[in-house]
Amino acid sequence: LTQDELKKIAAYKAVEYVESNMVIGLGTGSTAKHAVDRIAELLNQGKLHNIVGIPTSKKTYDQAVSLGIPLSDLNSHPVVDLSIDGADEVDPFLNLVKGRGGSLLREKMVESSSKKFVVIVDESKMVEHLGGSGLAMPVEVVPYGDLAVAKSLQALFEDSGCVAKRRTLDLDGKVPFVTDNGNHIVELFFKKDIGDLNAASDKILRIPGVVEHGMFLGLATTVIVAGELGVRVKDK
């Protein structure tokens, strides 16, 4: 099975949790895309009705509009029944790294407002410790002073050999990536792993100019993992 087929299997399994009349947080990324497709399919087949979607990015908003899924926002629905979204890393306690697609702020706002948050991944996302993969842990920062904030973030984790880099669209690093909220992204690369996640979260959020980071701690209620040997459902 290809990785995308595994993502689709996990996504379709998660959509089994969707019931009519629910307000659903619609995630962002290649895995969540399959869940949004499947919800639209069931709506069109009349197997689901009266669903309201709360998109976690402009990209998902556009996908849902094109599929005819009725949409709303957090102001109209401050409490969401169920959110379905992918993840970049999942540890054994269902803590996540998310945001490598740049949508972490709206994702975390919607998913932290959800009664249930079902994470959908292929098995390659499962890790023992967050940050150990050496891949980015994204932090959303305001544009002003973003490089200075990157330096402060790097200094926070000096002892664990962390490197902070501003995410850019061009090779010579002059054109910053801009999020749906008009902010920039600083990516943290950890040599070993992030260690005490709550301590790291507090340190990061205290730096003036930081908006939010991509560690989703204690938010997921279920993770659905699709692998070569089948699909596993792991509840908190």
**Which is nearest to 53 in space by CA: 83, 94, 78, 31?**
83
> Which window, 37-45, 81-89, 128-136, 204-212, contacts ligand DER (CB under 6 A)?
81-89
Is 107 one of the catalytic residues? Answer: yes
Distance set, CA 8 to CA 4, 35, 121 (Å) = 6, 8, 9
**Which is nearest to 117 in space by CA: 202, 32, 180?**
32
Biggest CA–CA distance in the chain, Å, is: 56
Q: Which of 43, 69, 84, 104 binds ligand DER (CB under 6 A)?
A: 104
As a whole number of angstroms, the distance between CA 200 and CA 196 comes to 6
> Which window, 13-21, 99-107, 139-147, 161-169, contacts ligand DER (CB under 6 A)?
99-107
> Which window, 64-72, 86-94, 162-170, 226-234, contacts ligand DER (CB under 6 A)?
86-94
Q: Which of 10, 15, 23, 107 binds ligand DER (CB under 6 A)?
A: 107
Q: How far is the CB of 96 from ligand DER (least distance, A)?
A: 7
Q: Which of 17, 30, 109, 211 binds ligand DER (CB under 6 A)?
A: 30
Q: How far is the CB of 21 from ligand DER (least distance, A)?
A: 26
Residue 83 interacts with ligand DER (CB under 6 A): yes or no? no
For 82, how many CA atoms within 13 A lie in the half-sphere containing its CB?
Answer: 20
Angle in degrees, 0-180, between the axes of helices 30-44 and 58-67, rounded to the nearest 10: 20
Residue 31 interacts with ligand DER (CB under 6 A): yes or no? yes
Residue of 89, 107, 140, 187 marked active site: 107
